[in-house]
């Protein structure tokens, strides 16, 4: 149990109205120390718990999520402005992630037998490390956490969550899911602390590994601290994903999916399509269709069922998007639609499309965390690949063509952690997820994700009867 009494509160603003939400008490140093002790003690028994029991509890947690879907969806909408339909889908996806690892853990964690010499049994055993700290962002406040928690808990690690400061109620609600499902005390614990406290937790000897989803500066800080302590880390640091439309693409589908890919979660997604790279032969038609699709989206109250695009999660985030748009226009870009914050309460920015964007302008070379798209015209497939790769970031990409062999060929040439042909970039518990270059390192999800924080132990068993 937490022991702190006098604590400062985390102050939050409803992004749809600009009104203050009630503060949530922050845990103090004594609380954090108690949580780390509890996690260490819990690991001793949890790591020895039968896999079947860990799988059963994961399934119970998935049931809790589904039973409380509406409650959790409305909590996300209130804290960070996610449109309610997307919030419900996020809870369901989190439950799917739990179910996936409950089902596939025996396969993912099975010993890997390797033939070596006669009379020997040699294999790799996958064994948990201990308490793992997750430093998580606000944009997908449930899914980001459960895609960390599901593989790690079923593998025998225990979880510590340091969530973003504007979603503390989501963080505490996630802890309550595991409590209600029957997980032993200390197996998953939320630390309601500010970012300034994260480094000391990373460096604490009781923490054995760390994962972060966040900005590049945060990744460098977290990765540096973990590296100095010789602790493994996984970093997912965002992207400036290209959406490549080739001359033989289905333009109606590309424009429709492209608008969704750019404005998913109100544009606040690291794997959102951000740079639209379009072959000159179809550029004019695609641009016309794409602008029409963006303008058809409903911007409004995130609690309304018909809303497509809600507010930006914080006022400073909306201001940053507008600064990037303004700077790009000053550098020579043309506004096709949008381009100004909406004149209403809350932090609303409209779906925005810019053309003639210089490559070194903000919309050409930075991650834009809001519903603003840059559209580029290229003369060839080779030029499309070159522009797609002209970024320090490499998280995801999307390629559109009716020739599937061509799509696969282009996909292999794009420098990113994942490429989707005729589909928007997405995370899926069945597939590994992560980036390259300044988008980070390591993988989450699938078999690769569950093994990120396991000891790959080599075991050699020699039959002495076969020794000379």
Q: How far is CA 340 from the centre of its chain?
A: 28
Look at the block and give the residue holding tokens 């989501």: 170
**Cross-strand bridge partners of residue 212:** 135, 235
Percentage helix, strand, coil, to 5, in the chain?
Answer: 45, 20, 35
Q: Comparing C-alpha atoms, which of 185, 184, 189, 182 is closest to residue 64? A: 182
Q: Which of 236, 293, 381, 415 is catalytic?
A: 236
270 a catalytic residue: yes
Distance between CA 254 and CA 398 in Å, rounded?
Answer: 10
In sequence order, the 6+-apart residues with CB closer than 8 A to the CB of 405 are none
Q: Is residue 236 flagged as an active site residue?
A: yes
Sort residue 412 into left (φ over 0), alpha (ψ -120 to 50) or beta: alpha
- Residue with the two structure tokens 């900005």: 215
What does residue 316 show for φ and ψ, rounded to 5 degrees? Answer: -65, -30
E strands in 155-297 = 158-162, 188-190, 209-213, 233-236, 241-245, 273-279
Structural contact between residues 24 and 172, judged by C-beta atoms closer than 8 angstroms = yes
Instruction: Give me the long-range contacts of 255-258 (CB less than 8 A, separation at least 24).
Output: 255/286, 255/289, 255/290, 255/292, 255/293, 256/289, 256/293, 257/398, 257/423, 257/424, 258/290, 258/293, 258/373, 258/398, 258/424
Instruction: Tell me which of 26, 270, 336, 415 is the catalytic residue.
Output: 270
Q: Using an 8 Å Cβ cutoff, are 278 and 381 in contact? A: no
Strand stretches in 163-240, DSSP E: 188-190, 209-213, 233-236
Distance, in Å, from the CA atom of 186 to the CA atom of 204, rounded to the nearest integer, reads: 17
**454 - beta bridge partners?**
128
d(CA 272, CA 329): 21
Active-site amino acid positions: 236, 270
């Amino acid at each position: 149990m937490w022991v702190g009494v006098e604590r400062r509160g985390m102050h939050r603003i409803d992004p749809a109205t600009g009104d203050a939400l009630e503060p949530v008490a922050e845990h103090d140093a004594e609380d954090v120390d108690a949580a780390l002790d509890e996690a260490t003690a819990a690991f001793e028994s949890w790591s020895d718990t039968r896999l079947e029991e860990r799988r059963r509890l994961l399934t119970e947690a998935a049931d809790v999520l589904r039973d409380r879907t509406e409650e959790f969806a409305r909590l996300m909408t209130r804290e960070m402005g996610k449109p309610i339909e997307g919030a419900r889908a996020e809870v369901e996806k989190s439950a799917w992630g739990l179910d996936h690892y409950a089902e596939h853990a025996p396969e993912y964690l099975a010993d890997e037998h390797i033939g070596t010499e006669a009379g020997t049994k040699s294999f790799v055993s996958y064994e948990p490390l201990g308490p793992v700290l997750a430093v998580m962002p606000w944009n997908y406040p449930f899914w980001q956490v459960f895609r960390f928690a599901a593989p790690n808990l079923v593998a025998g690690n225990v979880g510590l969550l340091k969530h973003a400061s504007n979603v503390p109620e989501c963080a505490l609600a996630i802890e309550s899911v595991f409590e209600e499902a029957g997980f032993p005390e200390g197996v998953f614990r939320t630390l309601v602390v500010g970012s300034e406290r994260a480094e000391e937790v990373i460096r604490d000897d009781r923490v054995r590994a760390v994962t972060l989803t966040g900005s590049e500066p945060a990744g460098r800080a977290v990765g540096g601290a973990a590296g100095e302590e010789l602790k493994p880390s996984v970093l997912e640091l965002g992207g400036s994903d290209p959406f490549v439309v080739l001359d033989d693409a289905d333009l109606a589908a590309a424009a429709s999916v492209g608008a969704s890919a750019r404005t998913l979660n109100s544009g606040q997604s690291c794997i959102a399509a951000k740079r639209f790279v379009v072959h000159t032969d179809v550029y004019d038609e695609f641009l016309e269709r794409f602008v029409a699709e963006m303008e058809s989206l409903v911007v409004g109250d995130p609690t309304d069922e018909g809303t497509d695009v809600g507010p930006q999660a914080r006022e400073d985030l909306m201001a940053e998007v507008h600064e990037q748009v303004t700077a790009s226009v000053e550098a020579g870009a043309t506004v096709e639609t949008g381009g100004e914050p909406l004149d209403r309460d809350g932090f609303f920015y409209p779906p925005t499309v810019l053309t003639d964007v210089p490559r070194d302008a903000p919309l050409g070379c930075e991650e834009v965390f809001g519903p603003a798209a840059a559209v580029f015209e290229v003369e060839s497939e080779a030029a499309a690949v070159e522009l797609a790769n002209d970024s320090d970031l490499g998280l995801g990409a999307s390629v559109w063509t009716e020739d599937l062999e061509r799509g696969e060929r282009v996909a292999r040439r794009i420098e990113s952690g994942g490429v989707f042909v005729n589909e928007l970039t997405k995370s899926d518990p069945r597939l590994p997820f992560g980036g390259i270059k300044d988008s980070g390192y390591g993988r989450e999800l699938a078999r690769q994700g569950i093994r990120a924080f396991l000891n790959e132990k080599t075991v050699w068993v020699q039959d002495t009867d076969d020794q000379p």
